[in-house]
Amino acid sequence: MQLHKSSLQGRLHSLNKASSRRAEFVQLIQTRRARASSRTKM
């Protein structure tokens, strides 16, 4: 039972890592888009 719990926590941790990485990627894309839009406005 303990082993199952630990494996489940590990899975959750890896999922959290992936989601945080995805959020960072999205933020990077948004900042790039904002820069591009400001450039076109000028």
**The predicted structure's pLDDT at residue 42:** 62
pLDDT digits (tens, 9 = 90+) for 1-42: 576 788 888 888 998 999 999 999 999 999 999 999 888 776
pTM as predicted: 0.56
What's the total number of domains in the chain? Answer: 1
- The Cα–Cα gap between 31 and 26 comes to 9
What is the extent of the structural domain holding 39?
Answer: 1-42
